[in-house]
Amino acid sequence: MLRRLFRRLVQTALFTTAAVVLFVVPPLLYYCYSYYTSLENEVVTRFSGKRWDIPSQIYSDSLVVYPGANLRDSGFFERLARLNYRPKPTPAQVRGRGEYCYNPKKGTLVLFLHAFAYPYHQFDGQLVDVRLSSDQMVTEISDGVTHKALDTFELEPEPISGIYQGVWEQRRLVRLSQIPPALIDAILAAEDHRFYEHHGLDPIRIAKAAWVNIHSGHVVQGGSTLTQQLMKNFFLTQKRDWHRKLKEALMAYIAERRYSKDEILENYINDIYLGQRGQEGIYGVWEAAEYYFSKVPRDLTIGEMATIAGMIRSPNRYNPLRHPDAARKRRDEVLVLMFQDGYISRPALAVAMAEPIEPRETFTENNDAPYFVDYVKHELAERYPPEVLTGEGLRIFTTLDVHTEKLAEHAVQANLARLEQTHPRLRREEQKDRLEAALVALEPQSGKIRAMVGGRDYRASQFNRVVQSHRQPGSIFKPVTYLAALEETLQGEAHFLPTTMIDDEPFTWYYGGMSWSPANYKGRYFGAVTLQFALEESLNSATSRLAHEVGLHRIREMARKLGFGDLPPYPSIVLGGIEVTPMQVARAYAILANGGLEVPPYAVTAVVDREGRVIEGHEIKAEQVLPASLAYEMDAMLQQVIKHGTGHDAVKAGFTRPAAGKTGTTNDEKDAWFAGFTPDLLAVVWTGFDKKEELGLTGAQAALPIWTSFMKEAEAGRPETAFPAPPDQEIWNAPSPEATDADNPSGAPPADHQPDVPEGDPND
């Protein structure tokens, strides 16, 4: 019986084993094989495909410094702070890129420029000596090594924003060969000193970590290898459980089988998270070196390399900007590990541990220029798909001058606050109903947009009034009529000069069975006046009479040349009875400021791909749309507007440079404008309510103060220049037949034809 029972037990065991082998083991093996294969496919796909979405980086323009430039007025030292340059006590201590020493008593500046990859050349950094006057004007520049005199030097562009989708992960992809071996040694010593010995898992490291954690009573050391960390970052979450650890271990094993150690290490140094810069995540050792120490990796000291390596364990806890003591303690731990592993000698260890923690100075001021950035993004979106802009790591170089942009923002905000304080009726409780303004500034000769402020507060309204708001220009459109009249003189069809007389009396224009009767501001008329006086005082009646004499078709043609398009054939257009954007006005006035030469405004100078190739560059296009002598004569007339006319408050406020401009106020007093320029900078300002409520102020009262405040600061660092006269300007020196008589052979208008305008009562 026992034998029979034993036989049955054996049979049952054999049957059960056979059943397991036949029905359980194959599915289990198949599952394990499928699971392993799926993990292998994941690893291979990630390593062979696109590994990261790299956001596009938007940069400002660089700053060219030359003898005669004023460093104080150009915001030079503020730029140094934003670009993470580090001050040193003495010139002898300026030894590395990104360091400088300024001695105001001696008038000296020693500056070691950063290395920078410009669109068309790689700059490796340069030591320069600068001599300055007492007011920080540059008098001499020389090479700090050869002492050879230099004409200029260039301060690199500033990063102003990025184009990204979801989380902003800022990283610069680098090859392993671009990273100094000592930094790699520091990372391996801190995170995985047996990296080149294990196959993805390190039993010795795991056992050691378990022993340390048991004795400490809590987790103080991890057992993951560098490869496991990379797999976790690539594919997994931060959740700690056995399933994630198993998957991480298998993926690490697969990665080690399929790829070389150097390939894994290169991915790791580009992937590791090393802290936060505002909304940007700092990823990879290159970004960390630039952010924390304002250096490229090759310029880091051993101590700085150990600091970065030490941050990998906990970037926030060991952040040298916020927690220098904790960062120093962790750095010293890494240095000791480097010594124990034979990466550095004992003397090198002592030197590195004696280094002070010297991270860059934190600079809280942002330079995002939100309206300008939106304008750039919109422009680029017409040429590049979203996935390229948000994931291919493009470097976008623009025309923005950050210092000029900040001056523009301050001018808009401060003067709007002043208007609301001076005129309480302009105050509104709701953000969306508040008084608004827009300012755009550009260089007429190059077309570079230097500043763009689309409103008083981007957080409250992203509506960019520079390019999106269509408003009536009022009297800033009047120069179109005067240009059309003066052009007839050049063509020999009529004889209009600034000294030509025109009647400023009530006037009715009859057209198409209808009539139009423009009125002067406050119903004041001056009788016979010169064209110059009519423009200076922005007289509606005199301007309309002139337009009638010249012909509406000629004015429309002139408007088309200036970029206003095909306007309707209505007389009211001569007083600005159309709708335009501030950018259109700026484009038209830039032609006058540039001797009749049109150079279209632009914002993007170059787009560079991740490999440093220029995939888009800006080609400046210029077209002579007006004769140079005609533009110069209009400039001269517009200069008188500022010297004696409706723009004279600019002079009263202290802006005394050669400048030309025109005020503008719509008849319903809903829009106030000022467009003005010097020989090298133009700015257009609009002020009003988005809902087109009555402003009740003229352009001289509401827009000119913003323009003046901005231009005084923006032009302060530039040499003062006069408007250059073209060689054929003699034609305008001929006397006007209407203005000459025996007692006035010069052709100047009689004094009684230049009536005085009561002070403080501007037409515009």
The pLDDT value recorded for residue 505 is: 94
> Quick one: average pLDDT of 718-736?
72
Q: Which residue has the higher pLDDT, 604 or 247?
A: 604
Does the pLDDT of residue 22 top 70, yes or no?
no
From the candidate CATH numbers 3.30.450.20, 3.40.710.10, 3.40.50.300, 1.10.357.10, the one assigned to the domain spanning 474-753: 3.40.710.10
Residues 6 or more apart in contact with residue 356 via CB below 8 angstroms: none
The pLDDT value recorded for residue 431 is: 87
Residues identified as active-site: 191, 475
Per-residue pLDDT tens over the stretch 224-245: 888 888 888 776 555 555 566 7
Using the structure block, give the residue that is written with the tokens 């010139």: 91
Does the pLDDT of residue 738 top 50, yes or no?
no
Lowest mean pLDDT among 140-154, 445-459, 722-736: 722-736
What is the location of CATH 1.10.3810.10 in the chain? 168-354
Cβ-in-10-Å burial (0-12, 13-18, 19+) of 669 comes to: middle
Residues 6 or more apart in contact with residue 351 via CB below 8 angstroms: 302
CATH architecture of structural domain 168-354: Orthogonal Bundle (1.10)
3-state secondary structure of 253: helix
Q: Which residue has the higher pLDDT, 44 or 473?
A: 473
**Confidence at 444, pLDDT banded by 50, 70, 90:** very high
Cα gap 255→248, rounded to integer Å: 10
What is the location of CATH 3.30.2060.10 in the chain? 57-158
Using the structure block, give the residue that is written with the tokens 């992937």: 271
Does the pLDDT of residue 473 top 50, yes or no?
yes
The DSSP bridge partners found for residue 511 are 514
Sheet architecture: strand order including 280-283: 168-170, 280-283, 273-277
Per-residue pLDDT tens over the stretch 261-320: 899 899 899 989 999 877 778 899 998 998 888 888 999 999 999 999 999 999 999 999
Amino acid identity of 575?
A: L
The pLDDT value recorded for residue 6 is: 65
The pLDDT value recorded for residue 119 is: 95
Does the pLDDT of residue 24 top 60, yes or no?
no
Does the pLDDT of residue 464 top 60, yes or no?
yes
Cα gap 234→51, rounded to integer Å: 8
**Confidence at 588, pLDDT banded by 50, 70, 90:** very high
Does the pLDDT of residue 736 top 50, yes or no?
no
Long-range contacts of 361-367 (CB under 8 A, 24+ apart): 361/81, 361/84, 361/86, 362/321, 363/81, 363/82, 363/84, 365/78, 365/82, 366/278, 367/60, 367/82, 367/158, 367/159, 367/160, 367/402, 367/405, 367/406
- Phi and psi angles of residue 231, each rounded to the nearest 5 degrees, phi first: -65, -40
What is the location of CATH 3.40.710.10 in the chain? 474-753
**Confidence at 30, pLDDT banded by 50, 70, 90:** very low
Cα gap 513→689, rounded to integer Å: 35
If you average pLDDT over every residue of the chain, what do you get?
86
Q: Which residue has the higher pLDDT, 111 or 611?
A: 111
Residues 6 or more apart in contact with residue 672 via CB below 8 angstroms: 664, 665, 686, 687, 688, 695, 697, 698, 699, 701, 702, 703
From the candidate CATH numbers 3.40.50.10440, 3.30.2060.10, 1.20.1250.20, 3.40.50.1220, the one assigned to the domain spanning 57-158: 3.30.2060.10
**Confidence at 132, pLDDT banded by 50, 70, 90:** very high
The pLDDT value recorded for residue 224 is: 82
Per-residue pLDDT tens over the stretch 535-564: 999 999 999 999 999 999 999 999 999 999
Per-residue pLDDT tens over the stretch 154-198: 999 999 988 877 667 777 888 999 999 999 999 999 998 888 888
The pLDDT value recorded for residue 257 is: 85
pTM of the complete model beyond 0.75: yes
In this structure, what DSSP letter does residue 392 have? B
Q: How far is CA 141 from CA 61, 207, 441, in A?
A: 21, 62, 29
The pLDDT value recorded for residue 751 is: 39
The pLDDT value recorded for residue 553 is: 94
| Tally of helices (H runs) and strands (E runs) in the chain | 24, 28
* Residue from 710, 585, 718 nearest 655 by CA: 710
> Quick one: average pLDDT of 578-602?
97
The terminus-to-terminus CA distance of the chain in angstroms comes to: 123
> Quick one: average pLDDT of 381-386?
91
